[in-house]
Amino acid sequence: MKRLRPRNWDLAWGAASVFVVLALWELAVRALSIRPLLLPAPTSILAEIGSDWIWYLQQAWYTLVVTLLGFVCAVVVGVLVAMLMVNSRLFEKITYPLVVATNSVPKVALAPLFVIWLGTDLKPKVAIAFLLAIFPVIVDTVHGFRSVPQDIVDLGKVLRSSPAAFFFKVSIPCALPSIFAGSKVAISLSLVGAIVGEFVSSQRGLGNVILSAQGVFDTPRVFAAIVMLVVMSMLTFGVLAWLEHHFTSWRRKH
């Protein structure tokens, strides 16, 4: 109970500061009569969303699907790669330079290539989201698996644990906090990847909304799409944080 109160206060402070910034924004736009083409007021952005909210939701849904597909693939493949790297020296020696090299490529620059390779439907966007998201998953998961204490590893050997039992009973739970840390970075990057994918080639999604609205100088619509993205980003991150809270509750027991 003691913990709850400061948390709620933190939340209240956060909400208050956001509200103040929005109010100042609104006031500034009205007082200085800034044209909506340059900077629309928060209320007119909300009005823009309200005028066609079903359409906005449809666009958001498309982007969300791309983001989640890229994210889930990144987590599954990333954890598998990390597992192999930790368990096989040879695999690590072969893949580690590859991972470092691929990670140094500005992945956004590859987006047009994916369109050539994979066409213009969902696939190239998911591929970019995946590529952006997988690296933090690999890095953090490897770190997590390596954090299994040596004594526990020895105990597993002395008791002749089956590799599967050791993996599921020790390695995974031990790495779980790190996997979540990596996933939280990955979900944000996956969204970035989805938007970039839509920028490059798309008829749908919030990335496409932004690009086409910019083309006709419909600034309120650009902002409306950005607001949708912010909400989506917060929601996905929140779900992950909740899962983390749920699955690593032992960390808070003192």
Partner 1 sequence: MSLPSVVARDVQKVYSGDRDVLALEKVSLNIGNGEFVSILGPSGCGKSTFLRCVAGLESITDGELFVEGRKVVGPPDHVGMVFQRDALLDWRTIEENIYLPIEFKGKARADYREKAKQLLKLTGLSDFADRYPRQLSGGMRQRASICRALIDDPALLMMDEPFGALDAFTRDQMNVELQRIWMKTRNTVMFVTHGITEAVFLADRVVVFAPRPGRIIETLEITLPRPRPLDIRASAEFGRYCSRIRELFQDMGIMKEENAA
Residues 145 and 92: beta-carbon distance below 8 Å:
no
**Least CB distance to partner 1 at residue 249 (A):** 9
Tell me which amino acid residue 63 is: T
**Least CB distance to partner 1 at residue 139 (A):** 22
CB-nearer residue toward partner 1: 77 or 172 = 172
Q: State how far the alpha carbon of 194 is from the alpha carbons of 56, 86, 97, 224, 231, in Å.
A: 16, 30, 27, 17, 15
Site string for partner 1, 93-132 (x = CB under 8 A): ----------------------------------------
CB-nearer residue toward partner 1: 15 or 165 = 165
**Least CB distance to partner 1 at residue 254 (A):** 6
Taking the C-alpha atoms of residue 150 and residue 166, their distance in angstroms, rounded to an integer, is 13
Q: State which of positions 161-190 bind partner 1 (CB under 8 A).
A: 161-162, 165-166, 169-170, 173-174, 176
Residues with Cβ within 8 Å of residue 108, at least 6 apart in sequence = 128, 132, 196
Q: Tell me if residue 9 falls in helix, strand or coil.
A: helix
Q: Which residue has the tokens 């340059």?
A: 38
| From 155, 234, 241, 243, residue interacting with partner 1 (rule: CB under 8 A) | 155
| From 35, 93, 245, 251, residue interacting with partner 1 (rule: CB under 8 A) | 251
Q: Which residue has the tokens 């924004």?
A: 25
| From 159, 215, 216, 246, residue interacting with partner 1 (rule: CB under 8 A) | 159
Question: Residue 144 interacts with partner 1 (CB under 8 A)?
Answer: no
Question: Residue 160 interacts with partner 1 (CB under 8 A)?
Answer: yes
The closest of 200, 85, 67 to 133, measured between CA atoms, is 67
Q: Encoding tokens for residue 127?
A: 């591929």
**Least CB distance to partner 1 at residue 176 (A):** 8
**Least CB distance to partner 1 at residue 247 (A):** 9
Question: Residue 211 interacts with partner 1 (CB under 8 A)?
Answer: no
Q: Which residue has the tokens 């079903």?
A: 54
**For residue 53, how far is the Cα from the chain centroid?**
24
Which residues make up the interface to partner 1 (CB under 8 A)?
Answer: 149, 151-152, 154-162, 165-166, 169-170, 173-174, 176, 248, 250-251, 253-254
